[in-house]
Chain A
Amino acid sequence: MTFPAKVQLMVADTEECVEALLVELTTREAKAGIDSRWWVLPGVEKRRKFQEKDHHWRWGDRIVRLTNDKWHRCLAIKTTAGTIEGAILYWLNTLSAVNPVRGAVYIKSLATAPHNRASLVDMPHFRGVGQTLLLKAVLDSYRNGFGGRVTLESFNDSSTIAFYENRGFEIVRYDVDGEERLPILELSSEAAEGWLQAEGFLE
Chain B
Amino acid sequence: MSKKSEFAPAAVGRPPKCSQIRADLGDLSHVDAKSEIDLHIVRLLALNPSLKVRFRNQELASLDISTKEALLDDINSVLGIRPLRKRKT
Whether B4 lies near A118 (C-beta < 8 A) is yes
* Given known A134-B9, A201-B85, contact A95–B33 (CB-CB < 8 A): no
* Given known A12-B3, A199-B87, contact A154–B11 (CB-CB < 8 A): yes
B9, B27, B48: which contacts A130 (Cβ < 8 A)? B9
Whether A94 lies near B21 (C-beta < 8 A) is yes
Q: Check: B57 CB closer than 8 A to any chain A CB.
A: no
Whether A200 lies near B8 (C-beta < 8 A) is no
Residue of B8, B12, B85 contacting most chain A CB atoms (<10 Å) = B8
Whether B7 lies near A144 (C-beta < 8 A) is no
Interface residues of A in 25-53 (CB under 8 A from B): 53
B residues near A94, Cβ cutoff 8 Å: 16, 20-22
Whether A3 lies near B36 (C-beta < 8 A) is yes
A70, A97, A153, A201: which contacts B11 (Cβ < 8 A)? A153
B residues near A97, Cβ cutoff 8 Å: 20
10 further A-B pairs in the complex, CB-CB below 8 A; given A3-B36, A152-B12? A53-B12, A91-B16, A91-B21, A94-B21, A110-B10, A112-B10, A119-B8, A159-B7, A200-B87, A202-B82
Residues 155-167 of chain A: 1 if any B CB is under 8 Å from the residue's CB, otherwise 0? 1000110111000
* Given known A70-B28, A201-B87, contact A110–B81 (CB-CB < 8 A): no
Q: Give the secondary structure class of B's interface.
A: loop
B residues near A1, Cβ cutoff 8 Å: 36
Whether B13 lies near A54 (C-beta < 8 A) is yes
Interface size, B (range) = 35 or more
Interface residues of A in 73-117 (CB under 8 A from B): 91-95, 97, 100, 103, 106-112, 116-117
Interface size, A (range) = 35 or more
Q: Check: A23 CB closer than 8 A to any chain B CB.
A: no
Q: Check: B43 CB closer than 8 A to any chain A CB.
A: yes
Q: Check: A182 CB closer than 8 A to any chain B CB.
A: yes
Whether B43 lies near A144 (C-beta < 8 A) is yes
* Given known A68-B29, A109-B11, A159-B7, contact A201–B16 (CB-CB < 8 A): no
B9, B14, B39, B85: which contacts A203 (Cβ < 8 A)? B85
Interface residues of A in 53-83 (CB under 8 A from B): 53-54, 57, 68-71
Whether B20 lies near A106 (C-beta < 8 A) is yes
Whether B22 lies near A164 (C-beta < 8 A) is no
Whether B16 lies near A108 (C-beta < 8 A) is yes
Can you offer 16 A-B residue contacts whose CB atoms are under 8 A? A53-B12, A92-B47, A93-B22, A94-B20, A95-B19, A100-B19, A100-B20, A116-B8, A142-B84, A144-B43, A145-B48, A145-B81, A155-B12, A164-B9, A200-B87, A202-B84
Please report the C-alpha to C-alpha distance between residue A117 and residue B7 in the assembled complex, in whole angstroms: 7
